[in-house]
A and B are shown apart, each in its own frame.
Chain A
Amino acid sequence: MSIRKLAVLTAIAAVTLAACSSASPSASASGSAAGSAAAACTVGVSWNNYQQPRWAAHDQPNIKKTVEDGGGTYIDADANLSDEQQLTDVDTLISKGATVLILLAQNQTSILPAVAKAKDAGIPVIAYDRLIEDPSVMYITFNNVGVGEAEAKAILDKVPTGNYVLIKGDPGDPNASTFLPQGWDNAGLKDKVTSGDITLLNGPDGTPTEAWKTEKAQANMEAIIDKAVADGKTIDAILAENDSTALGVVGALTAKSYGFPPLSGQDGDPANLNNVALGKQYVDVWKNANELGKTAGAAALALCQGTALADVTLPDGLIDPTVAPTAGLKATDFQTPGGKTVSSFILQPTPLTADNLDVAIAGGQISKADLCKGVDATSPTAPAACK
């Protein structure tokens, strides 16, 4: 990014500001919380794409509530998937008096000029859910390797030995080919394969699923079941990387009337949570975005009061202890793929099984009616959340 381009952008930002001083979708009334230590705090949030339902449903309300409960003011802007718009948005937020910024970057490189600008203005920055490679930026996200770990741990605890099937996602996606399998191995899959406790029925690398397509996963799984039956082997457990592939696996198991061996997934999709309630999927690893929002709100308030990045500590009891970072409530160092060290809060994903589905209802991820569709509430095997 050249100086000239930056200058042009700033000019555009200034014009935009002058033209419409209320660009933010939900600027709240300021100055209502006078007297508190955080009274001067204005938290500016720049969303990259507020149209995606998740942010409006879970992240935004929790950031806003945490900030306002702490006596701060919440303002935000939506870049609607445009890198350039996001730079303008950040300028707007700074001009409107933001004293700390939370950025959900549309692009982790093109956001850097905005970060530099905030630094110049002495405004601390939090990278929310998406990494920004800068040591002066705090990083708040979920433990993505931990998702795979949680999937495999749940299944390995349930089925410690036997024949496993591995269903992976799109081979071009590093989540599918690297991070999730790394999590599986961290949970002990690799060791158990080496020791012979677990046999992999569909090859050491499993079966990838083009574009994470449900139909493709179903066709692949049907062939795997047929092969296992032909070889006289039983499938004891299935590790599927996410919910769209897990849905295809359930389709194949149903079509083949195979029964439902323990099956993993992630994302907390309503159709899959319903399958967990029905006993067709064993575990669905879910990232509780409500807690991520609370963490960001609390961290923003702390930074606003001048706390150093590395000394930020979350208040006790703010976030669910099962989601809290394993390293504790104080910020910890995180090594970025680019070799930098940033202060961070890395939250734990929540494995949902039939035993704790009420967490998903309480977190607003799914309604009880959708979760328990087709579940016989009177049956003794029905999950507690449906009774």
Chain B
Amino acid sequence: MTNVAEATPVSGKNQPSARPSIGGLIAQTEIDLRLFGMLLALALILLTFNILSGGKFFAPTNMVTLAVQATGVAIIATGMVLVIVSRNIDLSVGSLVGLIAMTYALLMTDWMPNVLGMSTDFPFRWVIALALGVGLGAAVGALQGFIIAYIGVPSFIVTLGGLLSIRGVVWYLSSGAAVSGLDPNFQLIGGGAQGSLGGTLTWIIGIVACVPIIALLIQGRRRRRRYGFPVRPVWAEAVLGVIGCAAAIGLAAFANANLWPRGLAARYAAENGITVPAGGLKIATGFPYPIMALIAVTLVMTWMATRRRFGRYVYAYGGNPDAAELGGINTRWTILKTYVLMGVLCALAAAIAAARLNGATLDVGQGYELYVIAAAVVGGTSFAGGIGTIPGAVLGAFVMQSLAYGLSFMGVNSPGQNVVAGIVLIFAVGLDTLNRRRGS
């Protein structure tokens, strides 16, 4: 990441000539080494499980399950990055997810039909429920953010209070009982065979995703030339373009290799009068909706963090709060906004959790705060403030979930999973600390 700043701006010229080493070649592509390392670690974990399971692990179905299981934590982790970067913490996310999930369930089973007069055939019930949930998340986030930023109570205390009291409200709302039976459209948010894009749309998205990748590379190169920054060698640009496109199309192909479960396909065929060919009806599942939601959240959050004033302010404040304050940044308003954002992300994660369960129980979201913080930290977010990336946190969530799911797949139960997760957390942060020390 640092080579851009260190290099002397030389108009239109290539970077200093390549050192004849792999490290030098990689440096020329300007790939974020930390992200690259995490991708490698993730690949290594998946590969290990694949070998241990005799080649059964690396099947599309399993990878899709793993990814869908990671979405909730990953979505919240994108917001936790900004909260930790600005030297705060949010311990209330798990309880907030529980509260909003219970709100969705009660809205659709009780309040909508009995209080608001929206029976089951009312149009766009799921959109209305989602909007109310997002609104509730933003409101709770704003309240906590206000107490932290404007009254000055430490975020650890405020959100610890939130963790306890919000869970208590969930208990009160549900009287401890499970509530189930959501709107069928809302259930699709949770994924599954029918809650996915399907084969054609997945192909289209995979191919269309190539366009912005290449456009961004070309635009970036032009801008650098215009402002007189060094540009990457052409071969590096080409490699990045090819890798980006191949990844997008490859993921689409992989997701489409995940077929509808046989029973469901047979039922579908019977209902629609399709004759089942020998070997079964093959319907591609494609990208599940929760994964699409995660991709959208990651893109929007990255854009906000790196291209918007709000994001710049968050990093500036995290790097040096006094300097940011003196520099004229409205730091309180910025901090409050990070918590509002957190509430909105919790509402999205709660929608996925509730949709997957087709309801809510008292314990939905319990313990999320710890997994979310672990994902952000494994993804390179520093508690010292000012450092952390959103794609890193998403990858961190995937690393943690791939361990949990892989061990579960191998028949290792919760105690074993927790031991491994804890060790990986310390190991990842330890490695990072050593790396940073050597770099400085």
Seen from chain A, the residues whose Cβ lies within 8 Å of a Cβ on chain B are 53, 171, 202-203, 207-211, 213-216, 218-220, 222-224, 226-227, 229-231, 243-244, 247-248, 250-251, 254-259, 269-272, 274-275, 373-374
Of all A-B residue pairs in the complex, the 6 with the closest CB atoms, nearest first, are A223-B408, A230-B56, A271-B178, A257-B264, A271-B180, A214-B361
Partner of A215, one of B175, B364, B404: B364
- The answer to whether A210 touches B263, judged by C-beta atoms less than 8 angstroms apart, is no
Contact B192 A255 (CB under 8 A): yes
How far, in angstroms, from A374 to B180 measured CA to CA in the complex? Answer: 11
**Sample of 6 A–B contacts (CB below 8 Å):** A223-B408, A229-B61, A257-B193, A269-B177, A269-B178, A275-B180
Task: Known contacts A230-B56, A271-B178; decide if A255 and B409 are in contact (CB<8 Å).
Answer: no
Q: Which residues of B sit under 8 angstroms from A274, Cβ to Cβ?
A: 180-181
Once A229-B61, A230-B56 are accepted as A-B contacts, the answer to whether A218 and B357 lie under 8 Å apart by CB is yes
Asked if B69 lies at the interface with its beta carbon under 8 angstroms from chain A, I say: yes
Q: Of A222, A231, A250, A374, which is within 8 A of B65 by CB?
A: A222
Chain A residues, CB < 8 A from B356? 218, 251, 255
> How far, in angstroms, from A226 to B411 measured CA to CA in the complex?
12
Are A257's CB and B53's CB within 8 A? no
CB of A235, distance to nearest CB on chain B (Å): 12
Report whether A214 and B190 are in contact in the complex, using a CB–CB cutoff of 8 Å: no
* B window 355-371: CB within 8 A of A: 356-359, 361, 363-366
Q: Which of A223, A230, A243, A269 contacts B405 (CB 8 A)?
A: A223
CB-nearest residue of chain A to B401:
A219
> Main secondary structure on chain A at its contact with chain B?
helix
B414 CB contacts on chain A under 8 angstroms? 171, 208-210, 216, 220
* Residue in A218, A230, A258 whose CB lies within 8 Å of B62: A230
Taking A207-B413, A257-B264 as contacts, is the C-beta distance between A226 and B178 under 8 angstroms?
no
Interface size on B, as a range, is: 35 or more
Closest to A258 in B: B261
Q: B316-362: which residues lie under 8 A (CB-CB) from chain A?
A: 353, 356-359, 361
Report A-chain residues with C-beta under 8 Å of the C-beta of B57.
230
Q: Does B302 contact A (CB under 8 A)?
A: no
Q: Which residues of B contact A248 (CB under 8 A)?
A: 357
B residues near A254, Cβ cutoff 8 Å: 187, 192, 358
B181 to chain A, nearest CB (A): 5
Whether A271 and B413, one on each chain, are in contact in the complex, defined by CB atoms closer than 8 angstroms, is no
Complex-state Cα separation, A31 to B120, whole angstroms: 54
Question: Separation in Å of the B109 CB from the closest CB of chain A?
Answer: 8
Determine whether the beta carbon of B194 is less than 8 Å from that of A257. Answer: yes
A162, chain B: closest CB distance, angstroms: 16
Q: How far is the CA of A171 from the CA of B409 in the complex (A)?
A: 19
A256 CA to B261 CA, complexed, in Å:
7
Kindly state the separation between the CA atoms of A222 and B93 in the bound complex, as whole angstroms: 24
Q: Are B405 and A257 in contact (CB under 8 A)?
A: no
Q: Is B179 an interface residue (CB 8 A)?
A: yes
Give 20 new A-B contacts, CB below 8 A, not counting A256-B261, A271-B178. A53-B175, A207-B413, A210-B414, A211-B363, A214-B363, A215-B353, A215-B365, A215-B366, A216-B414, A219-B405, A222-B69, A227-B56, A243-B178, A247-B180, A255-B191, A256-B192, A257-B264, A259-B263, A271-B180, A373-B181
